[in-house]
Homo-oligomer: A and B are copies of this chain.
Amino acid sequence: MDNNIKIDWKYTGISDKEIYAYSEKVKKVHKELNKNIEDKDNYTGWIDLPINYEKREFEKIKKIAKKVNTDSDVLIVIGIGGSYLGARAVIDALTNKYERKSTEIIYVGNNLNPTYINEIIDYVSDKDISINVISKSGKTTEPAIAFRIFRDLMENKYGIDEARNRIFVTTTKRKGALYKIAMQEKYVKLSIPENIGGRYSVLTAVGLLPMCVAGINIDDIMAGAKCAAETYNDDNIKHNECYKYAVVRNILYANDKNIEILASYEPKLFYFAEWWKQLFGESEGKEHLGIFPSSVTYTTDLHSLGQYVQEGRRNLFETVINVENPNSDIVIGYDEEDLDELNYIAGKKLSYVNKKAMEGTIQAHVDGDVPNIVINVDYLDEIVMGQLIYFFEKACAMSGMLFGINPFDQPGVEKYKSNMYELLGKNK
């Protein structure tokens, strides 16, 4: 299998010499990353996951998905942050939201908004449903509340026994509140390896079960990720584009480019950008440092944030994901009158116009002192999504460690929680 990701560095304004100056640092971090991958305190289990994943667990995922596809119109995925963003990123990228070929996936437990939940309760009232609840501890407030609500709903709808057949639990092996609940209630369990953190967990059961239920070919997702794992395992920065992305980000940051905008011309990548924002924002935003991650869909947002990107503060750079070939195309028609003056592109494909818009935009932004990193892939499919996921995971780890921070913790996320617990009167 060929790695599909080809990066164009020419719009970054950074020389090979500047990049290669990081060679030794990169080698050192690479060694550090690969040391004791199995150690649960290292949170580096995702590194060789695409090669060493548990095949039995994988078959179990497929079996569950098959059952859910047979008996459920909707799978309710309960999870927050890394417990749903990765699955949603892939599912949105590869499916048609207007015409589903498989069970619909609905995401809850990622907020505390009652209207959001009530509308979903109404919507599923006349549908057959299953639940996949995803949480390491089982005590995170948002998914825990949603699970109480939907478990109750399921038991009222189907009775306790049939509800039990429709609830699937993804949690830590042999510990935690959710594990205990699953044991007690005899729910089918899938496990989250202890050495993989939430935002790096998309290629575990966390992401794979919802994907598989949505009709995604998870063998190909893993095959793509495996290809990337092999490609990006080279400690020589000259041959490792993933590490090069990490280094270029570090150089841009050192040059006061402290906002990174992930841009694409494919609306289906919206949630991929959300996943990417958590990955990088949560990994690097600490110690009063880090690149602020933002995202846009072009050409849509050229008529929104575009003005700022072109002429606002010059502390920005863009990372553009260019999907070379769309799934389908449209030929622009000819019009006798031509009052809209579009006949000069009549007969052209819309994808061609989209491509020229991209090229024109990159040039305009680069001319306006916004460096661009252009990540090209041929098309969007499972293999490419697997490659992109692994590419960004590995780049994020390297990038954070080059910054000198720990890319695997998230101490700041606890602060709102402890304030909230205090306001709610939770006993310590």
* A residues apposed to B, CB below 8 Å: 80-82, 85, 96-99, 110-120, 122-123, 138-139, 141-142, 144-145, 147-149, 152, 177-178, 180-181, 184, 198, 258-259, 265-268, 274, 277-278, 281-282, 284-290, 292-294, 297-300, 302-316, 326-330, 332-333, 335, 337, 339-342, 344-345, 348-351, 353-354, 356-357, 359-361, 363-365, 367-368, 410-413, 415-427
Contact A177 B339, CB 8 Å, known A115-B326, A368-B412: yes
Instruction: Please give me the residue from chain B that is nearest to A302 by CB atom.
Output: B416
CB–CB A353/B141 < 8 A: yes
Contact A353 B292, CB 8 Å, known A114-B326, A265-B113: no
The 5 A-B residue pairs whose C-beta atoms are closest, nearest first, are A285-B308, A81-B303, A360-B419, A310-B412, A285-B312
Contact A344 B427, CB 8 Å, known A113-B265, A289-B313, A311-B286: yes
Nearest chain B CB to A297's CB is how many angstroms away? 7
CB–CB B419/A363 < 8 A: yes
Instruction: Please give me the residue from chain B that is nearest to A330 by CB atom.
Output: B114
CB–CB A99/B122 < 8 A: yes
CB–CB A350/B117 < 8 A: yes
Instruction: Please give me the residue from chain B that is nearest to A278 by CB atom.
Output: B304
Instruction: Please give me the residue from chain B that is nearest to A182 by CB atom.
Output: B339
Contact A330 B117, CB 8 Å, known A307-B285, A308-B281: yes
Report chain B residues within 8 Å CB of A145.
Answer: 332, 342, 350, 353
CB–CB A98/B111 < 8 A: no
Instruction: Please give me the residue from chain B that is nearest to A276 by CB atom.
Output: B304
Instruction: Please give me the residue from chain B that is nearest to A425 by CB atom.
Output: B344
Report chain B residues within 8 Å CB of A368.
Answer: 412, 415
Nearest chain B CB to A177's CB is how many angstroms away? 5
Partner of A351, one of B114, B265, B286, B309: B114
Nearest chain B CB to A370's CB is how many angstroms away? 11
Supplied contacts A145-B350, A177-B339, A290-B313, 10 more A-B pairs, CB within 8 Å: A80-B299, A110-B299, A118-B329, A149-B332, A177-B341, A281-B312, A286-B311, A290-B312, A292-B312, A310-B413
Instruction: Please give me the residue from chain B that is nearest to A423 by CB atom.
Output: B356
Between A and B, 16 residue pairs with Cβ closer than 8 Å are A98-B122, A110-B300, A112-B357, A113-B266, A114-B329, A114-B351, A114-B354, A115-B328, A148-B340, A285-B310, A288-B312, A292-B294, A293-B305, A306-B412, A310-B413, A359-B423
Partner of A299, one of B112, B274, B288, B328: B112
Instruction: Please give me the residue from chain B that is nearest to A176 by CB atom.
Output: B339
With A and B bound together, what is the CA distance between A239 and B99 in angstroms? 52
Among A139, A148, A307, chain B packs the most CB atoms within 10 A around the CB of A307
Partner of A353, one of B96, B265, B315, B424: B424
Report chain B residues within 8 Å CB of A266.
Answer: 113, 115
Instruction: Please give me the residue from chain B that is nearest to A118 by CB atom.
Output: B328
Instruction: Please give me the residue from chain B that is nearest to A148 by CB atom.
Output: B333
Contact A277 B304, CB 8 Å, known A177-B339, A288-B312, A360-B423: yes
Report chain B residues within 8 Å CB of A360.
Answer: 416-423
Contact A413 B303, CB 8 Å, known A332-B148, A340-B147, A426-B344: yes
CB–CB A299/B265 < 8 A: no
With A and B bound together, what is the CA distance between A98 and B82 in angstroms? 25
CB–CB B297/A294 < 8 A: no
Contact A361 B114, CB 8 Å, known A145-B342, A312-B289, A410-B307: no
CB–CB A116/B353 < 8 A: no
CB–CB A149/B98 < 8 A: no
Report chain B residues within 8 Å CB of A341.
Answer: 139, 144, 177, 426
With A and B bound together, what is the CA distance between A181 and B337 in angstroms? 9
CB–CB A327/B277 < 8 A: no
Report chain B residues within 8 Å CB of A353.
Answer: 112, 141, 145, 420, 424
